[in-house]
Amino acid sequence: MTVFKFSLKRSFSNKTNLLLLTLFPIAFIFFPEGEYWPVLPYGYQYFGIVLLFISIRLTTIILVDRAKGVVKRLAVAPISYGSYLCQNLLAFSVILVMQCAIVVYGGVLLGVELYQPHWLMLLYVSFSFTSLAIALAWISIFRSKESAFLIYMSLVTLLAILGGLLMPLQIFPEALIRIAVLFPTYWLNQGMSWIASEGPVGDFILINGVLWLYTIIFMILGSTRKIH
């Protein structure tokens, strides 16, 4: 599990990452509540965007490895590429799940109204895996860390707007609401609405199932080994 250990260390070595991974989630607990919308406090509504953001910062470690030629060396090392990828992703997912736990249970401790915190934790965990998979698929297209990150920011903004995270979905025209279903952020939004409204469990399982299907799809697309 060497790669796992070092992945964890590398994620925290960058100063910006350190700030991002520690202070940010805690700050998000304190964001105010909205009046009619969103159903959960603003911090929890935007936490999905933060998860997408953190996952691209973490997966750029793999991108940097590719650019520096570490992947080439790994090709002749006695470690399979699958094992390298899995250990990296395991390390990143541990970090993301920790963030989710801090945000959710920190909020519970501070008395924020979260309706069903355990289900919310589950939803966030599913979405963190999805965002990790999306980030992995994204970096397989790029060679340079900066361009990958900057263009991803625009993509995340688009995903957030179209999925209904930044504005309530009800004000969208009909066609856009249909199109929104294609984006994973829409399913996160639906999940959060379910948590606030306490509907049937089947719906929640469907939402999580779809998020996991997205995870599988993006994992398959992003798992190619590219040697530059």
Q: Would you give the binding string for another protein spanning residues 37-56, x where CB under 8 A is met?
A: -----x---x----------
Compute how many residues bind another protein; rule: CB under 8 A.
38
Output 4 or 25, the one with its CB closest to another protein.
25
d(CA 224, CA 202): 34
The full length of the chain comes to 228
Q: Which of 36, 109, 175, 200 binds another protein (CB under 8 A)?
A: 175
* Region binding another protein by CB under 8 A among candidate stretches 5-13, 102-110, 111-119, 205-213: 205-213
Q: Which of 221, 226, 227, 228 binds another protein (CB under 8 A)?
A: 221
- The answer to whether the CB of 52 falls within 8 A of the CB of 135 is yes
**Positive or negative torsion for Cα 72, 75, 79, 84:** positive
Helices (H), 69-116: 70-76, 81-109
AA letter at 2: T
Structure tokens at 3: 């790669």
Q: According to the binding rule CB under 8 A, does residue 18 interact with another protein? A: no
- The answer to whether the CB of 94 falls within 8 A of the CB of 16 is no
Structure tokens at 204: 């929640």
Q: According to the binding rule CB under 8 A, does residue 172 interact with another protein? A: yes
d(CA 11, CA 124): 20
* Region binding another protein by CB under 8 A among candidate stretches 70-78, 95-103, 179-187, 192-200: 179-187
**Positive or negative torsion for Cα 151, 157, 163, 169:** negative
* Region binding another protein by CB under 8 A among candidate stretches 1-9, 98-106, 127-135, 150-158: 150-158
Instruction: Determine whether 182 is exposed, middle or buried from the number of CB atoms within 10 Å of its CB (0-12, 13-18, 19+).
Output: exposed
* Region binding another protein by CB under 8 A among candidate stretches 67-75, 78-86, 124-132, 160-168: 160-168
Q: According to the binding rule CB under 8 A, does residue 85 interact with another protein? A: no
Q: How near is the Cβ of 46 to another protein at its closest, in Å?
A: 7
Query: Which residues here bind another protein, judged by CB under 8 A?
Result: 16, 31-32, 34, 42, 46, 146-147, 150-151, 153-154, 157-158, 161-162, 166-167, 171-173, 175-176, 178-179, 181-182, 206, 209-210, 213-214, 216-217, 220-221, 223-224
